[in-house]
Structure 1
Amino acid sequence: MLGGIWGIITAIVVGLILGVIGRLLAPGDQKIPLWLTIVVGVIAAFIGNWLAGVVGVEDTPGIDWWRHAFQVGAAVLGVLAAAAVYPKVAGGRSASRT
């Protein structure tokens, strides 16, 4: 039970970090709420891990720089996509409320 809770907490923390990095690296102003930034980051982590597996670099000696690069790239693309779609889905509401 405790392992499952830590897994969820870890996913949220990693999602937050990847989402924030994605927002920092994405061009323009992204008007998306914090919760969506976290969701994009969590999804980017899974996509980055999958891409690293496809390419064959998911498990390397030391730090898996390629896997992290794929995760950050997915986060940037995810933030850009979310910033393009969210205002339309939110119905013109301000995204400053998180």
Structure 2
Amino acid sequence: MTILWAIIAGLVIGLLAKLVLPGRQPIPLWLTVLLGVLGGLAGNALASALGVRHTGGIDWIRHLLQIGAAAVLIALVTPAWARRGH
């Protein structure tokens, strides 16, 4: 069940990350999900390092770090994907 939640979270995080980036990111949905999962993991690690992973109520800072990390990954991967001719 943990893998399923990681995929769902990756989808949401990846799509939100694509929304905050300017322009169009012509990458497939599976790559968006993968980068969303990786961004979520990186955001969690960064939130732990900053001491804001577990706070009272909704962990807004952690979620913003996850979306930000996914946005950086998408911004880095999109040009390489576009050069592939897909």
**Percent sequence identity over aligned pairs:** 42
Unaligned runs of 5+ in 1: 1-5
TM-score by length of 2: 0.94
Unaligned runs of 5+ in 2: none
Aligned length: 86
1:31 corresponds to which of 26, 32, 37: 26
Q: 1:28: how far off? A: 1.5
Q: Which residue of structure 2 lines up, in the alignment, with residue 3 of structure 1?
A: none
Q: Give secondary structure in 1 for the equivalent of 2:46.
A: helix
The within-5 A match list for 1:4-43 is 6-43=1-38
- Flag the structure with larger Rg: 1
The one-letter code sitting in structure 2 at the alignment partner of 1:49 is: N
1:63 corresponds to which of 58, 62, 66: 58
Q: 1:87: how far off? A: 2.2
Q: 1:24: how far off? A: 0.9
Q: Which residue of structure 2 lines up, in the alignment, with residue 74 of structure 1?
A: 69
2:45 maps to 1:50: yes
The one-letter code sitting in structure 2 at the alignment partner of 1:85 is: A
The 4+ residue runs of structure 1 with deviation greater than 2 A are none
Distance in 2 of aligned mates of 1:78 and 1:27: 14
